[in-house]
Structure 1
Amino acid sequence: MKNIQVKNVSDEVHRVWKTRAAAEGMSMQEYLHRKLTREAQQPTVAEVLARVEHRGGPKLDHDEIVAMIREDRDSR
């Protein structure tokens, strides 16, 4: 396993993460490890679009997709 070190975190940010970890009954290291792992498991929009394009799906850019979603929502 690799290690990650984050420097220059503000006191406020540190306090928030420490408080949230304590509320979950975890150390901050355990809590942040869980958050980082979950985040890494979720693909970004760009990654999803790249998969769709790789599979020969529609070649739409982000703005076109957003416009289609808005149009669909507005039609309801």
Structure 2
Amino acid sequence: MVQIRNVPTELHRRLKARAALAGMTLSDYLLHEIRRMSERPSVEELRARLQGRSAATPSMSPARAVRAARDSR
């Protein structure tokens, strides 16, 4: 069970309205949103994943690639 105390009135109203628009109870709507949020990697997880990757080395310089693209027209 999860409880959130001291939710500002305006925030509660907005969330309740969104739940109603989705045809859901507030509890079901919040559970759906929490699940969706937990399935996405956090900024920290993305950063760690990117830091673990090796740097890419282009096969040609950007200037040469632009020139080749222009010349092919």
TM-score, normalised by the number of residues in structure 2 = 0.66
- How many residues are paired up? 55
* Alpha-carbon separation, structure 2, partners of 1:57 and 1:49: 13
Report the equivalent of 2:54.
57
Identity across the alignment (%)? 36
Measured on the aligned residues, the alpha-carbon RMSD in Å equals 1.3
- Residue 45 in 1 paired to residue 43 in 2? yes
- Residue 8 in 1 paired to residue 6 in 2? yes
* Alpha-carbon separation, structure 2, partners of 1:11 and 1:21: 15
Q: CA deviation at 1:46?
A: 1.8
**What is the identity, as a one-letter code, of the residue corresponding to 1:57?**
S
Post-superposition CA distance 1:30-69 (Å, at most 9, x none): 0000101101111022202212334x434xxxxxxxxxxx
The answer for unaligned runs of 5 or more in structure 1 is 59-76
**What is the identity, as a one-letter code, of the residue corresponding to 2:44?**
A
* Alpha-carbon separation, structure 2, partners of 1:49 and 1:37: 21
**What is the identity, as a one-letter code, of the residue corresponding to 2:54?**
G
Cα 1:34–1:40 shift into 2, 3 Å: same
TM-score, normalised by the number of residues in structure 1 = 0.64
* Alpha-carbon separation, structure 2, partners of 1:42 and 1:36: 10
